[in-house]
């Protein structure tokens, strides 16, 4: 019973979400609620992209070894979020993306967000954090060759991901509070969040530079040794 | 009914040069309890894994493995997973989920069973194993022994025909190990479960096993009825290392005939065959140095304000050049004592002096420079690099200071080393700070007899270099072999202490097997070698 | 004790989704006030022992959020006073207060949510849709406390061999990073053992089921239907425009029309469901106990 039900539901999610639900969400957002309810739309889009990604992951066959490694990396990343101020969350996500592929990178970022929020507090921001960190890991997977090449690409990507994370979270904060996008308020949010953005960028670069070699090396060795 | 039939099995690891399993053929029938023995690297672990398709190592394989008449390669995925159960060495890392109930259900979920069936099987298993009371718990609340029982239960819930166990008690303390083996033996007796277990300390399982398989360099040296196989192996020094004391004694005396297996048989064997006109070996007097290197005076410690004392009024002293051993059960406080001596924890009352100076007065890490160093229970906690060479470079290790040559391993990865080699690497790293007092927390945990001998040798050499050593162990045999003085820790106190021979002679239970075997017949005999000696002094056979 | 938490996790999950979702997207001052009251009641009822409400932080946040809007938005017809030639208007202030009521009430809803939806329960809800994802979450949840213990051990081990210094900040950072690298190496190596243990027990051998100890009882069905009906009613009111209220340029919209009051009532019942269930369960228990 449960099995059939599950697969049906999963198929609905897989096919239904991109083709029907997403436009439907936008339509609901525009017509049902205020015509300016960007907050609702953005939240729904963030949630659904995560759902979509998980559905894709669910469908694929993943080696057990890879799964275990990703679970370990998620737990390490969550542990890393407890370090005050300078957090290696994005750096670990990037390193995972570089050495285990974009999908693993997305999973580590997204899962670390959900799980760490059990300790730091869940909220409507959770899907955005999932998406932001997830994307940081995913994009690292796409550009892994360039990122592995030298320090400069790594530094650039570290800074970029700090700004990207801040950007996504600020946009959401303003949308949530203000319901429509508001330039001056967004600017204010950017300015108040500037110290955090700087800390994100600096800690990303710092941790990427010192962790890339040892952790990347360990990941490479394990993948080689156990043929993952 | 034949459960396993293995024919001409050969196996070479993908990156290996030698065959790990060499021309092996054997049969195991339903309900048999088979013990595999052999040194690390003898191929017993590889052979066991080859019997379990899901975790078979990668490499060249030839030959045939039949499970209940069918090649294991042809089995259905789910049959193969369920019918051949496998329990590994590391209790912690085998656990997949975070709750006991979920762990028990994990295998059944994989088999695609529905909720009602899982519920029934899980509750039945929990009742049989007597683990109902922890059903709701998080796995992290369990002790090591409980974790390994949970692993066993999580495999048994899948109703296997055969249970393969790869050194399942290596990480457990003696009491938990005995419990675990008793549970496996009970399953074997009560449910006709076939058991194949590899053990680095066969002495724990030999009395319950029907058959013994001796492996060396990937070959079967002997396989058959336990008693007969043991008899065949006597005289083979390598195999005798891990055997029960009675067997080692029998072998050491070069005797033929029925070999005693356990303490009571050994006792009868000695009384029936030898005289005891001379009851004691001549005493060797040992000078005790006057210099105190470690001193505990009425030390008290607890983990939190409102928690009970873990260490209460502990007092003892260690003199220069001594190997001092702290023995005791789980939770007696012996590891905490070591952490206090290493300055990792602070006592709230009493005084700890290291080389005559109060431990609090060592400022800013000076305690760890040329003074004290500690080897932790889990040596892997010391590893950080990707090769032995890197590990040693990290601490600026100078090879001439360490009485063991690590250069053959230089390029290997620390995690690819055997347990004994890892222990030696850890010891080398710790020794790099040139300590004068070395603290070791269970240095023989998980090691086989050969590795233990190696460690014992290194410790004696370090002592010869003028080092003082304090170690904590559960292992009475090891303590008797290397320690100059021993102390028993019970509920946070030292309850008895003395020179090793005297210490064990005064204990009735907490002593070596040879001592229990010779007690009242000879005096102060702790080790097999001493028993042989006194038997010879009494005229031998 | 907290009887509402005894409902099937799906019910709890849908409840919080509905009650917080409605609050987040319906900008109606009365409805949001109801939400704030309900969320505080629920929080007081359900919070974990020892968890303090941090009233001061919430009050502070409330004030800040309420004041941000008028400082940035100057539309609105009722000018209160001028700051730097910029008018501070009553409408903008009203909007700010409403928005901060919304934010604070959502924060409270989520705190109750976190207290009630433990990892176990959330896994139950998601496990049916995504067994693999939730298994990984379960594994990660197991690893987190394990890694905390492990890193403590590594730190101690390194300190006791003189390889962990903390005389200055840079040394501590370096030491911390080394502990983390060592933890990573060890944990990745050991992760492979877990993978073996999973495969040995048939992981990946075919379709997996999801075992859970929660059952969907009749009372769960009733509660779920009730939640959905109330939610639908409020949504319908919103769609019909009954709850529309605009702040600019001047406050406009009838807050207390009959239909609007009906919608508030529905939402009010929804927010008070935990309290009501708690009371009925308590009475039921008292009755049952009297018969023991």
Q: Does C128 touch chain B (CB under 8 A)?
A: no
Burial B323-353 (b: 16+ CB within 10 A, else e): bbbbbbbeebbbbbbbbbbbbbbebeebebb
Q: Running DSSP on this structure, what letter comes out for residue B417? A: S
Q: Does C53 touch chain A (CB under 8 A)?
A: no
Rg (CA), chain A: 19
- Both B180 and B311 in a single domain? no
pLDDT confidence of residue A51 = 81
CA distance C89 to C27: 19
Nearest-Cα residue of chain B relative to residue A214:
B385
B334: nearest Cα among B359, B355, B354, B314: B314
Residue C94 has a CB neighbour count (10 Å cut-off) of 20
- Both B203 and B297 in a single domain? no
Percent of residues, chain C, with pLDDT higher than 90? 35
CATH of domain A64-225: 1.10.1760.20
The distance from CA B455 to its chain's CA centroid, rounded to whole angstroms, is: 13
Which chain A residues are Cβ-neighbours of C140 within 8 angstroms?
Answer: 71, 74-75, 78, 111, 115
Question: Which domain covers residue B27, as residue numbers?
Answer: 2-233
- Torsion of Cα atoms, B490 then B173 then B417 then B215, to 10°: 140
- Both B339 and B458 in a single domain? yes
CA distance B236 to B233: 6
Average pLDDT over residues B279-301: 89
Q: Does A178 touch chain C (CB under 8 A)?
A: yes
Which chain A residues are Cβ-neighbours of C143 within 8 angstroms?
Answer: 71-72, 74-75
Evaluate whether residue B125 is within a structural domain. Answer: yes
> How far does the CA of residue B167 sit from the closest CA of chain C (Å)?
14
Task: Give chain B's mean pLDDT.
Answer: 91
Which chain B residues are Cβ-neighbours of C161 within 8 angstroms?
Answer: 368, 373-374, 382, 395, 429-430, 432-433
> How far does the CA of residue B515 sit from the closest CA of chain C (Å)?
35
Q: Does C33 touch chain A (CB under 8 A)?
A: no
* CB < 8 Å from B in window 86-125 of C: 119-120
Which chain A residues are Cβ-neighbours of B115 within 8 angstroms?
Answer: 2
Nearest-Cα residue of chain B relative to residue C167:
B364
Nearest-Cα residue of chain C relative to residue A173:
C103
Task: Pick the more confident residue, B105 or B14.
Answer: B105
C264: nearest Cα among C245, C243, C247, C244: C243
B38: nearest Cα among B191, B169, B235, B198: B198
Task: Give chain C's mean pLDDT.
Answer: 86
- Both B344 and B217 in a single domain? no
C162 and B112: CB-CB below 8 Å? no
Q: Nearest by CB to C167, which of B119, B364, B415?
A: B364
Residue B282 has a CB neighbour count (10 Å cut-off) of 7
User: Does the pLDDT of residue C3 top 50, yes or no?
Assistant: no
- Both B134 and B37 in a single domain? yes
Question: Cβ distance A105 to A93 under 8 Å?
Answer: yes
Domain ranges of chain A: 1-62, 64-225
Lowest model confidence (mean pLDDT) among B5-14, B256-265, B376-385: B256-265
pLDDT confidence of residue A4 = 43
Evaluate whether residue B501 is within a structural domain. Answer: yes
**ipTM beyond cut 0.95:** no
Question: Cβ distance A96 to A211 under 8 Å?
Answer: no
B483: nearest Cα among B337, B375, B325: B325
Chains with 3 or more CB pairs closer than 8 angstroms to B?
A, C
Q: Nearest by CB to C195, which of A65, A80, A211?
A: A65
Burial A93-123 (b: 16+ CB within 10 A, else e): bbbbbbbbbbbbbbbbbbbbbbbbbbeeebb
Domain count, chain B: 2
CA distance A118 to A120: 6
Nearest-Cα residue of chain A relative to residue C132:
A58
* CB < 8 Å from A in window 374-413 of B: 384, 386, 413
- For B237, counting Cβ atoms within 10 Å of its Cβ (0-12 exposed, 13-18 middle, 19+ buried), the class is exposed
Nearest-Cα residue of chain A relative to residue C103:
A177
CATH number at residue B57: 3.40.50.300
C119 and A70: CB-CB below 8 Å? no
Q: Does B119 touch chain A (CB under 8 A)?
A: no
- Both B341 and B451 in a single domain? yes
Domain endpoint, select from B191, B217, B233: B233
Lowest model confidence (mean pLDDT) among A6-15, A200-209, B336-345, B353-362: A6-15
* Bridging pattern class, strands B219-225 and B292-301: unpaired
Question: Cβ distance A125 to A172 under 8 Å?
Answer: yes
Nearest-Cα residue of chain C relative to residue A65:
C195
Which chain C residues are Cβ-neighbours of B111 within 8 angstroms?
Answer: 202, 205-206
Percent of residues, chain B, with pLDDT higher than 90? 69
> How far does the CA of residue A1 sit from the closest CA of chain B (Å)?
8
Which chain B residues are Cβ-neighbours of C201 within 8 angstroms?
Answer: 81, 96, 106-107, 110, 154-155, 158
The distance from CA B206 to its chain's CA centroid, rounded to whole angstroms, is: 15
> How far does the CA of residue A221 sit from the closest CA of chain B (Å)?
9
- Both B309 and B174 in a single domain? no
C132 and A58: CB-CB below 8 Å? yes
* Tokens at B311, concatenated: 């260490």
Evaluate whether residue B449 is within a structural domain. Answer: yes
Q: Does B307 touch chain A (CB under 8 A)?
A: no
Q: Does B114 touch chain A (CB under 8 A)?
A: yes
Place of tokens 């997207």: C25
A227 and B386: CB-CB below 8 Å? no
Instruction: Read off the pLDDT of residues B246-265 as tens digits, 9 standing for 90 and up.
Output: 999 999 888 877 889 889 99
Instruction: Read off the pLDDT of residues C35-66 as tens digits, 9 standing for 90 and up.
Output: 999 999 888 887 665 566 567 788 888 888 88
pLDDT confidence of residue A22 = 57
In a structure prediction context, what are the per-residue pLDDT tens digits for chain A, which is 228 residues long? 334 455 556 555 555 555 555 556 656 665 655 545 677 777 777 788 788 778 777 777 778 899 999 999 999 999 988 888 788 999 999 999 999 988 899 999 999 998 998 888 888 888 889 989 999 999 999 999 999 988 999 999 999 999 999 988 888 888 888 776 677 888 888 888 899 999 999 999 999 999 999 999 999 999 888 877
- Both B220 and B339 in a single domain? no
């Amino acid at each position: 019973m449960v099995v059939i039900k599950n697969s049906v539901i999963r198929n609905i999610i897989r096919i239904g979400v991109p083709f029907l639900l997403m436009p439907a969400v936008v339509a609901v957002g525009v017509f049902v609620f205020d015509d300016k309810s960007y907050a609702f739309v953005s939240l729904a889009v963030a949630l659904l992209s995560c759902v979509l990604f998980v559905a894709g992951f669910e469908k694929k066959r993943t080696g057990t070894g890879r799964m275990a490694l990703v679970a370990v990396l998620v737990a390490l990343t969550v542990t890393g979020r407890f370090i005050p101020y300078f957090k290696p969350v994005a750096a670990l996500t990037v390193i995972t993306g570089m050495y285990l592929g974009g999908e693993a990178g997305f999973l580590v970022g997204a899962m670390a967000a959900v799980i760490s929020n059990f300790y730091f507090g869940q909220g409507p921001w959770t899907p955005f954090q999932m998406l932001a960190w997830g994307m940081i890991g995913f994009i690292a997977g796409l550009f892994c060759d360039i990122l592995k090449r030298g320090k400069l690409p790594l530094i650039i990507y570290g800074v970029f991901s700090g700004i990207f994370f801040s950007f996504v979270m600020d946009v959401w904060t303003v949308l949530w509070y203000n319901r429509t996008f508001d330039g001056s308020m967004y600017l204010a949010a950017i300015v108040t969040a500037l110290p955090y953005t700087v800390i994100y960028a600096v800690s990303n670069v710092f941790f990427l530079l010192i962790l890339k070699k040892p952790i990347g090396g360990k990941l490479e060795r394990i993948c080689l040794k156990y043929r993952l | 009914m034949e459960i396993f039939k293995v024919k001409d099995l050969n196996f070479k690891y993908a990156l290996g040069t030698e065959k790990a399993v060499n021309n092996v053929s054997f049969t195991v029938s339903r309900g048999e309890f088979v013990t595999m023995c052999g040194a690390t690297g003898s191929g017993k672990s590889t052979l066991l894994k080859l019997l379990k398709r899901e975790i078979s190592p990668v490499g060249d394989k030839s030959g045939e493995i039949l499970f209940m008449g069918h090649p294991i390669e042809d089995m259905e995925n789910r049959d193969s997973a369920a019918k051949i159960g496998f329990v590994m060495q590391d209790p912690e890392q085998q656990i997949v989920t975070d709750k006991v109930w979920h762990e028990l259900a994990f295998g059944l979920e994989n088999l695609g069973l529905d909720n009602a069936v899982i519920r029934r099987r899980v509750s039945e298993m929990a009742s049989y194993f007597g683990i109902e009371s922890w059903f709701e718990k998080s796995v992290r609340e369990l002790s090591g022994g409980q974790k390994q029982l949970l692993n066993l239960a999580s495999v048994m819930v899948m109703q296997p025909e055969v249970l393969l166990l790869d050194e399942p008690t290596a990480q457990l303390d003696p009491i938990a190990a005995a419990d675990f083996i008793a549970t496996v033996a009970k399953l074997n007796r009560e449910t006709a479960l076939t058991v194949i277990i590899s053990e680095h300390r066969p002495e724990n399982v030999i009395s319950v096993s029907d058959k013994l398989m001796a492996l060396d360099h990937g070959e079967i040296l002997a396989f058959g009825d336990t008693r007969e196989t043991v008899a065949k192996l006597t005289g083979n020094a390598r195999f005798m290392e891990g055997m029960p004391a009675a067997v080692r004694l029998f072998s050491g005396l070069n005797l033929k005939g029925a070999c005693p297996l356990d303490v009571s048989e050994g006792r009868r064997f000695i009384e029936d065959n030898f005289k005891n006109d001379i009851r004691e070996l001549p005493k060797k007097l040992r000078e005790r140095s006057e210099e105190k290197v470690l001193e505990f005076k009425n030390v008290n410690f607890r983990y939190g304000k409102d928690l009970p004392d873990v260490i209460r009024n502990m007092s003892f002293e260690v003199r220069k050049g001594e190997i001092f051993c702290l023995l005791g059960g789980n939770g007696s406080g012996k590891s905490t004592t070591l952490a206090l001596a290493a300055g990792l924890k602070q006592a709230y009352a009493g005084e700890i002096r290291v080389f005559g100076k109060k431990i609090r007065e060592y400022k800013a890490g000076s305690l760890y420079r040329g003074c004290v160093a500690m080897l932790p229970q889990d040596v892997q906690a010391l590893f950080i690099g990707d090769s032995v060479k890197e590990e040693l470079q990290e601490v600026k290790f100078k090879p001439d200071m360490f009485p063991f040559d690590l250069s053959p391993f230089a390029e290997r990865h620390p995690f690819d080393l055997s347990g004994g080699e890892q222990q030696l690497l850890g010891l080398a790293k710790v020794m790099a700070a040139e300590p004068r007092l070395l603290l070791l927390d269970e240095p023989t945990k998980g090691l086989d007899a050969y590795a233990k001998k190696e460690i014992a040798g290194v410790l004696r050499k370090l002592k010869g270099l003028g080092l003082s050593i304090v170690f904590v162990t559960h292992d009475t045999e090891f303590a008797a072999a290397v320690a100059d003085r021993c102390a028993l820790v019970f509920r946070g106190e030292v309850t008895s202490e003395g020179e090793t021979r005297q210490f064990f002679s005064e204990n009735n239970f907490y002593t070596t097997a040879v001592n229990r075997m010779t007690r009242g017949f000879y005096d102060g005999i702790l080790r097999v070698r001493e028993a042989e000696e006194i038997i010879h002094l009494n005229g031998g056979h | 004790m907290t009887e509402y938490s005894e409902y099937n996790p799906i019910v709890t999950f849908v409840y919080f989704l509905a009650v917080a979702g409605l609050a987040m997207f319906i900008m109606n001052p009365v409805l949001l006030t109801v939400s704030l009251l309900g969320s505080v009641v629920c929080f007081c009822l359900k919070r974990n022992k020892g968890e303090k409400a941090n009233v001061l932080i919430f009050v502070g946040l409330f004030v800040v959020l309420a004041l941000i809007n008028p400082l940035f938005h100057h539309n609105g017809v009722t000018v209160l006073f001028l700051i730097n030639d910029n008018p501070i208007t009553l409408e903008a202030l009203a909007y700010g207060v409403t928005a901060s009521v919304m934010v604070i009430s959502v924060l409270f809803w989520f705190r109750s949510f976190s207290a009630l939806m433990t990892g176990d329960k959330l896994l139950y809800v998601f496990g049916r849709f995504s067994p693999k994802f939730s298994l990984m979450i379960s594994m990660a949840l197991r690893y987190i406390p394990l890694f905390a213990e492990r890193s403590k051990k590594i730190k101690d081990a390194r300190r006791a061999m003189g390889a962990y210094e903390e005389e200055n900040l840079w040394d501590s950072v370096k030491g911390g990073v080394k502990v983390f690298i060592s933890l990573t190496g060890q944990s990745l190596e050991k992760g492979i053992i877990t993978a073996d243990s999973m495969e040995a027990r048939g992981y990946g051998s075919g379709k997996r089921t999801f075992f859970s100890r929660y059952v969907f009882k009749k009372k769960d069905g009733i509660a779920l239907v009730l939640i959905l009906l109330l939610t639908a009613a409020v949504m319908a009111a919103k769609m019909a425009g009954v709850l529309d209220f605009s702040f600019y340029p001047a406050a406009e919209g009838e807050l207390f029309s009959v239909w609007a009051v009906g919608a508030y009532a529905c939402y009010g019942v929804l927010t008070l469901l935990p309290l009501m269930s708690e009371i009925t369960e308590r009475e039921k228990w008292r009755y049952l106990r009297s018969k023991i």
